[in-house]
Amino acid sequence: MQQYLSKLSRYHRWATEKLFESVDLLSEDQYREDAGLYFGSIHNTLNHLLLVDQLWLARIQGVPYPVTDLGHEIETDLKALETALLNQCDLWFRECATLTDRRLEQVIKYRNMSGDPARIKNGDLLIHVFNHGTHHRGQISSALAKAGVPVPAMDYFYFVTG
């Protein structure tokens, strides 16, 4: 399982890099306009991805995370956001490299964004994080296509065969 999650963490970074190759082609207006995504704009959706990745990493490491709004803007600048997201991907890779089977089965307890007690196994948490990234990259891909920007091939298939 550890090897699988390490591979998913590498895919998470690779797909994020591919996504930014296209996001970087947008005008500032296209990047910030409401694209009909769950968090409105591409900018807001990328900020959400960063926030959630940071939140889950804090939870798996047992440290507090101060943000309680899933739509909170962490980075205002596209380049800073890109750098932060790619750095966060690297943190996930390092975290996955240290996992043992015992730690993957370990259940963490935390409070969700509503303040309710919750629990999840570390392994399931990691699968969720990487699936969550795929979900929102897919949303952003749709917005890129509507904006007339080439959409990169980010399927896992291309990662493992490229």
Residue 15 has pLDDT above 90, yes or no: yes
Residue whose tokens read 């995504």: 37
- Three-state SS for 41? coil
pLDDT for 68: 78
- Residues 42-53 have a mean pLDDT of 97
Backbone conformation region of residue 127, classed left if phi is above 0, alpha if psi is from -120 to 50, else beta: alpha
Q: Report residue 26's pLDDT band, with 50, 70 and 90 as the boundaries.
A: very high
CB 59 within 8 A of CB 65: yes
Tokens of 59: 């939870």
Is 132 a known ligand-binding residue? yes
136 close to 45: Cβ distance less than 8 angstroms: yes
pTM: 0.94
Summarize pLDDT for 96-146 with one digit per residue, the tens.
999 999 999 999 999 888 889 999 999 999 999 999 999 999 999 999 999
Q: Which domain holds residue 44?
A: 2-161
Find out whether 72 is annotated in a ligand binding site: no
CATH value at residue 108: 1.20.120.450
Known binder of ligand: residue 43?
no
Residue 64 confidence (pLDDT): 86
Q: How many domains does the chain have?
A: 1
CA–CA distances in Å: residue 84 to residues 1, 36, 145? 27, 24, 24
